[in-house]
């Protein structure tokens, strides 16, 4: 897709209000796309969801009791997506798969110009080692030709030494981490297994007392050692990272306390400029899978 790419925060400012939407949720297919949890290019289970926001209401379809151009036939939409995805012979990265799905949407819509916003998501439920899945969600405003894609690691369940109470310093407890990268390009979107490794090792090697310290450290490592350490490209880097951490066993009569942050990864921001200066020209390439501790690898890299 050759649209102008912006961040989700920027795109949300231009999102038109839509009273009427058509959605298909979690179309379950086996598709030759994405990487599995070991980073291999393998056919795998994919959950595909689309949400189509209409420029106008379903008024004419409702008045005539027919599926006309004011709506989208969800049966036809599902068949169009299934047909295109199941006919793939060559492996695709997740971004190219999203483009195929958007193409299927336009094929299924009697009037593609009636679409105000197209949202398409591919979720790989078996691609995560510790979480509930890894997804990429595309947002597209056809009239403005604006697009963004968000990469998400869903609810990774990890063990961390975390807490201020004496008993919490004696053993690790479960935390649930979700991460979203805003404005993700294809070269980032197909290396999500490396991102998950940074999340896992950062959390499990930590010993903070507060979630606030842990979440700040995790955000900094993702930006510095994943976003900024990718191979140079003319495409824009991710705009930022949003992280939530849950601590399920902390409060007996609540599901969990949760904290959430968003940190910019824009190189024009002062804290990112500092990271770039610290990295210099030599960017660490963290092996996958990394044998041993991430903190020891990074310390060794600094000394080289």
The confidence score (pLDDT) of residue 221 equals 96
* Over residues 289-295, mean pLDDT: 96
The confidence score (pLDDT) of residue 162 equals 97
| pTM of the full structure | 0.94
What tokens appear for 289 in the block?
């899978």
What is the rounded average pLDDT for all residues in the chain? 93
For residue 89, pLDDT beyond 70: yes
Omega into 289 within 30° of 0, i.e. cis?
yes
- Tens of pLDDT, residue by residue over 264-279, are 999 889 999 999 888 8
Select from 143, 145, 241 the least CA-distant residue to 184: 241
Q: Are 173 and 267 in contact (CB under 8 A)?
A: no
Helix (H) or strand (E) holding 258: strand 258-264
Q: Are 133 and 151 in contact (CB under 8 A)?
A: no
CATH number of the domain located at residue range(s) 17-142 in this protein:
3.30.1130.10
Phi and psi angles of residue 220, each rounded to the nearest 5 degrees, phi first: -65, -40
For residue 2, pLDDT beyond 80: no
The alpha carbons of the chain give a radius of gyration, in whole angstroms, of: 21
* Over residues 29-45, mean pLDDT: 94
Residues 266, 268, 270, 272, CA torsion sign: positive
The confidence score (pLDDT) of residue 231 equals 61
Helix (H) or strand (E) holding 10: helix 8-14
Distance from C-alpha of 157 to C-alpha of 166, rounded to nearest angstrom: 23
The confidence score (pLDDT) of residue 75 equals 96
For residue 234, pLDDT beyond 80: no
Higher-scoring residue by pLDDT: 196, 6: 196
Least confident of 21-25, 185-189, 216-220, 241-245: 185-189
For the chain, residues classed under CATH 3.30.1130.10 are 17-142, 152-304
For residue 27, pLDDT beyond 90: yes
Length of the chain in residues, anyone? 304
The confidence score (pLDDT) of residue 233 equals 66
The confidence score (pLDDT) of residue 245 equals 98
Distance from C-alpha of 229 to C-alpha of 221, rounded to nearest angstrom: 10
Q: Which CATH architecture group holds 152-304?
A: 2-Layer Sandwich (3.30)
Label the pairing between strands 258-264 and 146-160.
unpaired
DSSP for 108-174, please give it: H-S-GGGEEEEEEEEEETTS-SSSSEEEEEEEEETTTTEEEEEEEEEEEEEEE---SSGGGGTS-EE
Give the contacts of 159 (CB within 8 A, at least 6 positions apart). 172, 173, 174, 175, 204
- In the numeric block, the tokens 């689309």 are attached to 50
- Tens of pLDDT, residue by residue over 161-206, are 999 999 999 999 999 999 999 999 888 888 999 999 999 999 999 9
The confidence score (pLDDT) of residue 250 equals 92
Select from 164, 239, 160 the least CA-distant residue to 202: 160
Any bridge partners for residue 27, and if so which?
A: 48
The confidence score (pLDDT) of residue 47 equals 98
The DSSP code for 226 is I
**Three-state SS for 206?**
coil
**Three-state SS for 240?**
strand
């Amino acid at each position: 897709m050759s649209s102008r790419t912006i961040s989700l925060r920027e795109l949300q400012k231009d999102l038109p209000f839509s009273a009427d939407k058509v959605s298909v949720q979690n179309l379950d297919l086996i598709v030759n796309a994405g990487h599995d949890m070991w980073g291999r290019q393998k056919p795998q289970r994919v959950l595909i969801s689309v949400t189509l926001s209409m420029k106008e209401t379903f008024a004419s379809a409702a008045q005539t009791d027919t599926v006309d151009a004011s709506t989208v036939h969800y049966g036809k939409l599902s068949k169009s997506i299934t047909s295109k995805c199941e006919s793939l012979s060559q492996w695709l990265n997740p971004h190219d798969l999203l483009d195929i799905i958007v193409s299927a949407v336009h094929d299924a819509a009697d009037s593609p110009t009636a679409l105000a916003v197209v949202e398409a998501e591919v979720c790989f439920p078996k691609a995560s080692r510790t979480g509930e899945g890894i997804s990429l969600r595309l947002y597209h405003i056809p009239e403005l030709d604006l697009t963004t894609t968000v990469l998400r690691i869903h609810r990774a369940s990890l063990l961390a030494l975390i807490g201020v109470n004496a008993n919490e310093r004696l053993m690790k407890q479960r935390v649930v981490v979700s991460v979203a990268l805003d404005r993700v390009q294809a070269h980032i979107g197909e290396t999500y297994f490396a991102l998950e490794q940074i999340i896992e090792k950062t959390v499990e090697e930590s010993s903070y007392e507060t979630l606030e310290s842990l979440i700040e450290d995790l955000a900094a490592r993702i930006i510095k050692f994943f976003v900024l350490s990718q191979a140079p490209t003319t495409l824009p880097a991710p705009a930022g990272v949003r992280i939530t951490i849950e601590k399920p066993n902390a409060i007996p009569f609540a599901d969990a306390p949760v904290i959430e942050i968003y940190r910019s990864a824009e190189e024009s921001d002062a804290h990112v400029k500092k990271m770039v200066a610290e990295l210099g020209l030599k960017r660490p390439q963290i092996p996958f899978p990394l044998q041993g501790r991430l903190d020891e690898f990074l310390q060794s890299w600094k000394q080289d």
